[in-house]
Chains A and B, each alone.
Chain A
Amino acid sequence: MTAQTVSTTGVEAFVAALEEFGAEPIVESALVTYTVTPVAGALAGRVVRTGVSVEEVAPWPVAPPHWIHLPADMGFAATNAGGSPMDGWASHSRDIPAWGTAQVPLAAWLAHVRGVLGGAV
């Protein structure tokens, strides 16, 4: 007899929250990718598919992901970039400020990503 598993955390919870926000999540190449529309900068108004590593989302929502994965052709004036499991993508090191203070963690996360994308050149 195995107990039913009910998960409200981790990748499953992150994906469910993205769906709720209409961010069209897809789990692919060890990433959870989803769409965000920046409101400022070179990408303002454009729907951008971005992602986070599945492994980094495991503790969601107690700890946020660190690396933001994006197509490699999206540049920033200043960035600390790393690799990505997705072909043709790169990851960017970004700290989210004041984690844990928001009522809805995903809203805080999307605001952070929109802010990061606002700096794209």
Chain B
Amino acid sequence: MIRASVAMTSGLHSQAGSHLLRGDGQEDVCLATYSPSTGDQRTTAVLTDLMLPLEGERSVHGNASFSGRYVVRAASQAAAQGLGVALMHSHPQSVGWQGMSGADRETEQSYARVAETITGHPLVGMTLAGDKTWSARSWDCNRGHHDAESVRIAGTILRVSWNGTLRPAPPSTSAQVRTVSAWGEAMQADLARLRVLVVGVGTVGLDLAIRLVQAGVQDVSVMDFDTVEEVNLDRLLTATRIDTALFRSKIHVALRAMRAAATAVTPVLTGYDLSICEPQGQRAALDYDVIFSCVDRPWARAVLNQLAYSDLIPVIDGGLAVEPFPDRGMRNATWRAHVITPDRPCLQCNGQIDGAQVARDRAGLFDNETYIRTAGIKAPSRENVSLLAPSVTASMLGQFVSLVVAPGGLGAPDPLRFSLSTHTLEHMFVVTLAGCTYEQATGGGDRRMTLTKQHPAADAARQRREANARTARVRMGRLSQNVIEKAAAAIRRVWVSS
């Protein structure tokens, strides 16, 4: 069953809240347009604009009612832009995720066919409770409604309203006591339910994934198409020489480490042997609430940068730059971390990706040794220092906690950069450029620009790994390692349950 969810910017949430939660305590109603965002397992209605009622289109009398003319007007305007319609109303005296009253159900059902006929998209029904918790459902005019799992509000603070029936809070465990004590049960229940994807499980990504499952996040997935190599062993946590000899994928190593570290009762850990630049990779990413960008190539970062705005999935990006002196020795090292989300500048405005390099990378030129040699360019930097990588992890986790937990109610900061030589932490006061095409496409959902395509380097990496794994030596080695890993998992399960 495909899951349903709704997402909106914090700006649209405030605007809707101002209209629906009236000073006089009466219910109210309004419409909004949405763009679908279609993942593998989840469809999200990404709200684009509110369409407030005009004079005579609705009346407030304790409850609220509205005219069919209002729905037809909104649906026609939505259809002209290829969008769907959401019908919103308030329950000012209630708190938490709302069910529907008989009247709510009848009203929404009666307009479901009109909205779908005009727009071609299902009607989305939404309720805003007095405590600003949203609830939502999607209507099929023949089969009735399908409750959403969550409503996500993206801004400098990520707020998610959860449907406790479809997505109950995972029980906290004794291993999480100290984490829970930092921000309380309610926050832990919200944080642990987030579906988190880590794209790129190299030095930083693997460390992050382990920390997330240790903190009790129930659904953590990893995406990477790379194979563990000898050069990764100086920094890839838990990877061994045996993994390189057996041509293990990075996601294999990551999942093994995450299973061992998870503190949730029923962790759900998934690995994608994909690049985010491939259409299947992007589609899988649309199932998540937060994404960590631990990739260094411009194309992959551009794809993630786009999803942060078009699909309202906050992306936490970070990186390390080592600056050597020309004649050897280290001049400086800097690391950055930033949350890419509405109300914060995108990676391009922040100077972290350059469109020309995105185009080069997308054209496969950074993987083309002949081109690199002929053009006399330098391939993207590969310098990495394992002793400094945990600082990047820490900066990114700090941004994550700021975004989700919002200590002091402040949310995610401006982009941050730490300079090792001078030991200074800088707040980068970056603003969105007037012509920023990423941020202009906020809420675009499936109408996003087509940055993804077939990725020959990812294909080649997977094929090489498969070919290497065909030898009897590797097959036997993998079989033995699998048996040992399964035995370790079984011991862990017995130990934990006893």
Contacts and interface: CB of A to CB of B under 8 A. Distances in A.
A59 B356 CA distance: 12
Contact of B355 (A1, A5, A96, A104): A96
A80 B349 contact: no
Contact of A80 (B371, B433, B437): B371
Interface string A77-103: 000100000000000010111011111
B435 interface: yes
A63 B348 CA distance: 10
B25 to A, nearest CB: 38
A62 B362 contact: no
Nearest to B348: A100
B309 to A, nearest CB: 10
B451 A63 contact: yes
A58 B348 CA distance: 18
Contacts, number: 103
A66 B451 contact: no
Contacts of A97: 356
Interface string B352-369: 001111111011010000
* Secondary structure class of chain A's binding surface, majority of residues: loop
B435 A62 contact: no
Contact of A9 (B79, B436, B447): B447
A121 to B, nearest CB: 19
A91 to B, nearest CB: 10
A108 to B, nearest CB: 8
A10 B302 CA distance: 15
A9 B449 contact: yes
A100 B120 contact: no
Interface residue tally on B, bucketed by range: 35 or more
B120 A4 contact: yes
Contact of A62 (B79, B81, B355, B433): B355
B80 interface: yes
Nearest to B451: A59
Contact of A7 (B117, B306, B438, B447): B447
A9 B374 CA distance: 33
B362 A4 contact: no
Nearest to B347: A100
Contact of A3 (B121, B306, B375, B448): B121
Given A93-B371, A101-B435, A1 B359 contact: no
Given A99-B355, A104-B435, A6 B453 contact: no
B80 A66 contact: no
B421 interface: no
Contacts of A100: 348-349, 355, 433, 435-437
A71 interface: no
Most-contacted residue by chain B among A8, A66, A80 (CB, 10 A): A66
B356 A58 contact: no
A60 B449 contact: yes
Given A56-B363, A59-B450, A62-B355, A3 B435 contact: no
Interface in B178-219: none
Contacts of A34: none
A20 to B, nearest CB: 16
Given A3-B121, A9-B447, A66-B356, 7 more contacts: A1-B116, A58-B450, A62-B437, A63-B302, A93-B371, A96-B359, A101-B433
Interface of B: 79-82, 84, 116-117, 119-121, 302, 306, 348-349, 354-360, 362-363, 365, 371, 374-375, 433-438, 441, 447-451, 453
